């Protein structure tokens, strides 16, 4: 029996879809505006590794090359900023999330934020801190911040910390966006 379950194919498919979406932004008109991303670093190989030692090597290699093992992708849908986090959110990688989100919220014309966490495979209390901090910022500007697509381990931390009661959670990005369309 393998100790690490390999991610379902649909997970890899969804990355390709996202990349396609990013690549085809021009043709989608002005409804979707990409602000910035680091998506090029996602390799199917690292997602498919089933062996823990191999996985460790991939995680560490990723760090060496990029200086971080977290990717932040920002996309704007009208007045909503969609933030997709991929990889591992800890004390080391929290700064980049804080910086990128803060910059996009303060500069962009977004009222609300959707935090999309489908590919976030690790988070600790540093992640809770940075998310709570951005939630306060959005709220102080009269907006809403919602979370979608969380993995079980990440969701558990939200529950343990009580953040689950403060933020609204949705199954998919689509339903999260739909909930905000009503608000705005």
Partner 1 sequence: MSGHNHMKLSFASRSENEAFARITVAAFVTQLDPTMEQLDEIKTVVSEAVTNAIIHGYNGATDGVVNVEAEIDGDTVLISISDQGRGIEDLELARQPLFTSRPELERSGMGFTIMENFMDEFDVVSSPTGGTSLKMKKRIESKKALFN
Ligand X SMILES: Nc1ncnc2c1ncn2[C@@H]1O[C@H](COP(=O)(O)OP(=O)(O)OP(=O)(O)O)[C@@H](O)[C@H]1O
**What is the chain's alpha carbon radius of gyration, rounded to the nearest angstrom?**
16
SS3 content of the chain, % helix, strand, coil (to 5): 55, 20, 25
Q: How far apart are CA 163 and CA 128, in angstroms?
A: 8
Hey, which residues between 2 and 41 contact partner 1 (CB under 8 A)? Answer: 3-5
Contacts (Cβ under 8 Å, ≥6 apart) of 151: 117, 118, 120, 121
Nearer to partner 1, 39 or 55 (CB): 55
CA geometry: angle 92, 123, 68, nearest 5 deg? 35
State in angstroms the smallest separation of the CB of 92 from partner 1: 4
| Interface with partner 1, residue 102, by CB under 8 A | no
Let me know: does 161 contact 135? Beta carbons within 8 Å: no
Shortest Å distance, C-beta 95 to ligand X: 14
Q: Which does 109 bind (CB under 5 to 8 A by kind): partner 1, ligand X, none?
A: none
Nearer to partner 1, 36 or 52 (CB): 52
* 94 touches partner 1 (CB under 8 A): yes
Residues that bind ligand X (CB under 6 A): 125-126, 129
Residue 56 found at the interface with partner 1 (CB under 8 A): yes
Residue 41 per-residue DSSP state = G
Instruction: Note whether 48 and 39 are within 8 A (CB).
Output: no
Decide which of ligand X, partner 1, none touches 5; Cβ closer than 5 to 8 Å per partner kind.
partner 1
List of residues contacting partner 1 (CB under 8 A): 1, 3-5, 52-53, 55-56, 59-60, 63, 69, 88, 90-92, 94, 98, 122, 124-126, 128-130, 132-133, 152-153, 157, 160-161
């Amino acid at each position: 029996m393998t100790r690490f379950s390999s991610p379902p194919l649909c997970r890899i498919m969804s990355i390709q879809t996202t990349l396609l979406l990013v690549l085809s932004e021009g043709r989608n008109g002005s409804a979707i505006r990409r602000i910035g991303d680091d998506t090029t670093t996602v390799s199917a190989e690292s997602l498919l590794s089933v062996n823990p030692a191999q996985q460790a090597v991939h995680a560490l290699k990723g760090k060496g090359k990029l200086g971080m093992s977290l990717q932040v992708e920002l996309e704007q849908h009208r007045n909503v900023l969609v933030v997709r986090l991929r990889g591992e959110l800890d004390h080391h990688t929290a700064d980049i999330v804080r910086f990128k989100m803060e910059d996009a919220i303060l500069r962009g014309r977004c009222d609300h934020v959707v935090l999309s966490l489908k590919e976030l495979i690790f988070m600790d209390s540093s992640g809770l801190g940075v998310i709570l901090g951005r939630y306060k910022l959005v709220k102080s500007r009269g907006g809403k911040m919602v979370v979608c697509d969380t993995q079980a381990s990440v969701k558990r931390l939200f529950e343990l910390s009580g953040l689950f009661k403060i933020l609204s959670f949705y199954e998919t990005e689509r339903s999260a966006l739909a909930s905000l369309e009503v608000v705005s």
